[in-house]
Amino acid sequence: MLDTLPLSDAGGVEVTGVDLSQPMSPQQRANLAGADLTGADLSGAQFTGAWLRNASLSEAVIRGASFRRTKLDHAQMLDASVHDSSFAEASGEALNLHQSRFYAVDWSDSQLSRAQFYHARLQHSRFAGVMAQNASFGGSKIDHCDFSRARLDEVKFNRSEIIQCAFRDASLQNADFRESRLRGGDFYGAKLAGARFGGAQMQTADFRGADLRGARELTSEQLMQSLTNRSTILPNGNPGPYMRYSGAEKPR
Mean pLDDT within 54-76: 98
CB hemisphere CA count around 150 (13 angstroms): 31
**pLDDT over 60 at 190, yes or no:** yes
The answer to whether the CB of 234 falls within 8 A of the CB of 210 is no
The answer to whether the CB of 96 falls within 8 A of the CB of 78 is yes
What does pLDDT average to over the chain? 91
Query: What does the alpha-carbon distance between residue 37 and residue 95 come to, in Å, rounded to a whole number?
Result: 15
> Where residue 24 falls among pLDDT bands split at 50, 70, 90?
very low
Query: What does the alpha-carbon distance between residue 167 and residue 169 come to, in Å, rounded to a whole number?
Result: 6
The answer to whether the CB of 222 falls within 8 A of the CB of 244 is no
> Where residue 18 falls among pLDDT bands split at 50, 70, 90?
very low
> Where residue 26 falls among pLDDT bands split at 50, 70, 90?
low
Question: Which pLDDT score is estimated for 29?
Answer: 77
| Single pTM value for the model | 0.89
**pLDDT over 80 at 12, yes or no:** no
Q: Sheet holding 141-143: strands in order across?
A: 61-63, 81-83, 101-103, 121-123, 141-143, 161-163, 181-183, 201-203
Question: Which of 153, 135, 133, 248 is CA-nearest to residue 194?
Answer: 153
Greatest C-alpha distance within the chain:
70
Question: Which of 238, 212, 200, 241 is CA-nearest to residue 224?
Answer: 241
Query: What does the alpha-carbon distance between residue 110 and residue 28 come to, in Å, rounded to a whole number?
Result: 18
Q: Could you report the per-residue pLDDT of 125-134, keeping only the tens digit for each?
A: 999 999 999 9
> Where residue 23 falls among pLDDT bands split at 50, 70, 90?
very low
Amino acid residing at 238: N
